[in-house]
Amino acid sequence: MTAMNTHRAELLNAFKQLEQNFEYSKTDSMSQEFIDQLCKDSPEFASLHRHYQALSQQPLEAQPRVIVCGMYNAGKSSLLNVLTEHLETECFKTGAARVTAEIQSHEFNGITLIDTPGIDGSETDDSSAWEGIINGDFYLYAHNVLETEFSSQETNFLQRLSTERPDFHEHHLLVLTQADRVSKQEELEERAQAIKDCFKNQIKVEPETIIASSLRYKNGVLNNKSKLRQFSGIDDLKNHLNKIKQSHLEGKWAILRKHRHERIINELTKRIEHQLESKISKKQRLESERNQKLASLQNTIATSFAYALNKLAELKMA
């Protein structure tokens, strides 16, 4: 009787395993659920997918999105205030603390200017802002001229951005901020060179650079001091924005967005196909394992029957 019990336990076990295999193969479908799962499994896929969604929602001909990014306290919001001629009131809130946790945008002179919270390595804020950051047409990277070294957060940020946006190296400007804090021209130039070298190290391309002071511009305009305004670098920055607007009117950004969209769709499709292929081969492997188990189950059943028949025969003989 104990031998019979062992056979029964083996049979039950074999059935249980078969059921589990069936459950797995049933979930194999190309659905939203599958995409959600891929996003959960891979941060790179999730980021690409968010970029795809953001681009899909934006008309190709929408005005250019200029994103101001950099460490918090670099002077991004101050820069945006003077660029939008907010000299006595603030459109973009400034302050010593990290005041903006989300991106803030403002349309000005045919351009959508976007302020970002500032890099600080905080995972939650960075990931919620990332969606807005990644979908830019042009980047103003603000860096305080007093900091000749790049922090590890800046390094990570720049590397991530230039990986996810391979066109970043052609579509950015390095803005060295708070230039009024360095009084000697020679020292300013030395600092600028050191920062440019660091930046070049990160993204492997010589950055076009503007040395700027929002404070100087503000004082220059409000007190009618043309020299201060001239040395603020803000008019150079405005000229740059005008060029961006001009290329938008010539259709450049629409074409670039279209190419970006195509590149992302290709990349997403490649990744989805790769995942599907590995799922299909896993399914095939599971099916072949199941077939083997079925064969062994049949074997076990046959043995059990033979055993039972034998026992019956023995009983009859007795």
Binding site for ligand GDP (CB under 6 A): 72-78, 94-96, 118, 177-178, 180-181, 213-215
Joined together, the tokens standing for residue 186 give: 């020679």
3-state secondary structure of 138: strand
Q: Which does 144 bind (CB under 5 to 8 A by kind): Mg ion, ligand GDP, none?
A: none
Least Cβ distance, residue 184 to Mg ion (angstroms):
28
* 42 or 84: CB nearest ligand GDP: 84
C-alpha span between 8 and 165 (Å, rounded): 61
Residues 6+ apart with CB under 8 A from 30: 272, 276
Least Cβ distance, residue 257 to ligand GDP (angstroms):
27
Phi-psi region of 95 (alpha: psi -120 to 50; beta: other; left: phi over 0): left
Of 114, 49, 110, residue with least CA distance to 80: 114
Least Cβ distance, residue 118 to ligand GDP (angstroms):
5
* 77 or 177: CB nearest Mg ion: 77
Q: Which does 75 bind (CB under 5 to 8 A by kind): ligand GDP, Mg ion, none?
A: ligand GDP
Least Cβ distance, residue 141 to ligand GDP (angstroms):
11
Least Cβ distance, residue 118 to Mg ion (angstroms):
6
Least Cβ distance, residue 214 to ligand GDP (angstroms):
4
Q: Which does 166 bind (CB under 5 to 8 A by kind): ligand GDP, Mg ion, none?
A: none
Q: How many CB atoms lie within 10 A of CB 290?
A: 17
Q: Which does 215 bind (CB under 5 to 8 A by kind): Mg ion, ligand GDP, none?
A: ligand GDP
C-alpha span between 191 and 83 (Å, rounded): 24
* 178 or 209: CB nearest ligand GDP: 178
Tell me which residues touch Mg ion (CB under 5 A): 77
Least Cβ distance, residue 129 to Mg ion (angstroms):
12
Joined together, the tokens standing for residue 133 give: 């950051």
* 96 or 315: CB nearest ligand GDP: 96
How many Cα atoms within 13 Å fall on the side-chain side of residue 306? 6
Q: What is the 3-state secondary structure (H, E, C) of 162-191?
A: HHHCHHHHHCEEEEEECHHHCCCHHHHHHH
Report the amino acid identity of residue 288: S
* 70 or 297: CB nearest ligand GDP: 70
Query: Could you tell me where the DSSP H helices lie in the chain?
Result: 2-26, 32-41, 43-57, 76-83, 123-134, 152-164, 185-203, 214-222, 226-230, 234-249, 252-317
Q: How many CB atoms lie within 10 A of CB 96?
A: 7
